Structure 1
Amino acid sequence: MPFKAAHGIFIALVLAATSIVRPAAAEPVQIVGFGDSLMAGYQLPVEEAFPAQLEKALRARGLDVSIANAGISGDTTSAGLARIDWSVPEGTKGVILELGANDALRGIPPEQTEQNLDKMVSGLKRRGIAVLLVGMLAPPNMGEDYGKRFNSIYAQVAGKHDVPLYPFFLDGVVTHADHQLDDGMHPNAKGVAVMVDKMLPTVEAFVKSLGVID
Structure 2
Amino acid sequence: MAQTPPPSPGSAPERTLKLVALGDSLTAGYNLPASAAFPPVLEQALRAKGHAVEIVNAGVSGDTVQGGLDRLDWSVPDGTDGVILELGANDALRGLDPAVTRKGLEAIITRLKARGIPVLLAGMYAPRNLGTEYATRFDSIYPDLAKAHGLVLYPFFLEGIAGDRALNQPDLLHPTAEGVRVIVRNILPTVERFLATLPAKG
TM-score grouping bracket, smaller chain normalisation: over 0.9
Query: Is the contact between residue 51 and residue 67 of structure 1 (CA under 8 Å) also seen in structure 2?
Result: yes
CA–CA distance in structure 1, aligned partners of residues 89 and 75 of structure 2? 19
CA–CA distance in structure 1, aligned partners of residues 36 and 111 of structure 2? 30
Match of 1:5 in 2: none
How do residues 66-81 of structure 1 correspond to structure 2 at under 5 angstroms?
Answer: 66-81=54-69
Match of 1:63 in 2: 51
Match status 1:121 vs 2:99: no
Match of 1:13 in 2: none
SS in 1 for 2:91: helix
Match of 1:100 in 2: 88
Q: Following TM superposition, by how much is the alpha carbon of 1:183 offset from its aligned partner in structure 2, in angstroms?
A: 1.1
Query: Is the contact between residue 29 and residue 212 of structure 1 (CA under 8 Å) also seen in structure 2?
Result: no
Please state which structure has a larger fraction of its residues in helix: 1
Over the matched positions of the two proteins, sequence identity in percent amounts to 52
Aligned residues: 195
Match status 1:46 vs 2:34: yes
Match of 2:3 in 1: none
SS in 1 for 2:142: helix
Structure 1 letter corresponding to 2:42: L
Question: Residue deviations 1:100-145, cap 9 Å, x none?
Answer: 0000011110011000000100000000001000000000111111
Match of 1:33 in 2: 21
Question: Residue deviations 1:42-78, cap 9 Å, x none?
Answer: 0011110000000000000000000000000000001
Q: Following TM superposition, by how much is the alpha carbon of 1:25 offset from its aligned partner in structure 2, in angstroms?
A: 5.1
Q: Following TM superposition, by how much is the alpha carbon of 1:212 offset from its aligned partner in structure 2, in angstroms?
A: 3.3
CA–CA distance in structure 2, aligned partners of residues 162 and 171 of structure 1? 22
Of 60-69 and 167-176, deviating more is 167-176
SS in 2 for 1:68: strand
Q: 1:136 to 1:22 in 2, by over 3 A?
A: closer
Uncovered stretches (5+) of structure 1, i.e. residues with no partner: 1-17
Could you say what the CA RMSD is over the residues aligned between the two structures, in angstroms?
1.8
Match of 1:135 in 2: 123
Uncovered stretches (5+) of structure 2, i.e. residues with no partner: 1-5
CA–CA distance in structure 1, aligned partners of residues 168 and 14 of structure 2? 38
